[in-house]
Amino acid sequence: MRFKDKIVAITGGSDGIGLATAKAFAAEGASVYITGRSQERLDAAVALIGHGAVAVQGDAARPGDLDRLYTQIQCDHGRLDVVFANAGISELEPRPLGTITDDGFEQIFGLNVRGVLHTVQKALPLLVDGAAVVINGSVAGSKGFPGQSLYNASKAAVRSFARTWTSELKDRGIRVNMVSPSGTETRPMRAFLEARPGVEDMLKQLVPLGRLGQPDEIARAVLFLASTDSSYVAGVELFVDGGALAV
């Protein structure tokens, strides 16, 4: 019960890593608030999370939707202990240099970078001193996967956020860290792999542990970074990737 009486906000909490993390926080005593674009998925997620979880429909790329989330938390509790800036989007089709458009740039950076910025910035008035912020990154931020320029760069950008915000928020004792998974068994990932025979085997060959990650495995790393178990950990990027980058 590391998070008993703690208030936790998770963007993109209706599916995949966000949902697994929301369930883990709630099981350890937290009051969990999640966002997502689909009300239907949010309703299903709240039922799975239990423990009084609250869903606020919205898109993390839209500042007004984030305002609604934090207004709800302000009204209910008046404070916030943990933010998991999880919402993000990947490039479903390759976009090699020479084919990148302004619309494509806005789609990826609008959510993955500007959305993370607003998620954390708008939370600041609610965050208590000693709070924790965790950003969901990716091994892509440290790699040069072809056709993924925008996604790779967006994850490198939020890695920089974690470093800078650690310096800026240190006087309030707010720790900012980043968890960076490799390929993880989520619904969008499964759909992506099933449409591309052979890609899953290729991904597994890049991972020393020889498999995709599971959302619960990423969730456990997020809870570590958000808890007092990591009280002397700040500004780091924790790779949860089966050894893909280290080996």
Q: Annotated active-site positions, please?
A: 151
Strand order in the sheet with 7-10: 54-57, 31-36, 7-10, 80-85, 127-136, 175-181, 237-240
- What is the Cα–Cα distance from 38 to 138, expressed in whole angstroms? 24
Token pair 């703690």 is found at 6
C-alpha neighbours within 13 Å on the C-beta side of residue 101: 5
Which residues does 216 contact at the CB level (< 8 Å), separation at least 6? 20, 24
Angle at 28 between CA 22 and CA 32, to 5 degrees: 35
Instruction: Say whether 146 sits in a helix, a strand or coil.
Output: coil
- The answer to whether the beta carbons of residues 134 and 225 sit under 8 Å apart is yes
Distances in whole angstroms, Cα of residue 178 to Cα of each of 25, 53, 189, 199, 225: 17, 24, 21, 27, 8
Report CA torsion sign: 227, 233, 239, 243. negative
- What is the Cα–Cα distance from 162 to 48, expressed in whole angstroms? 30
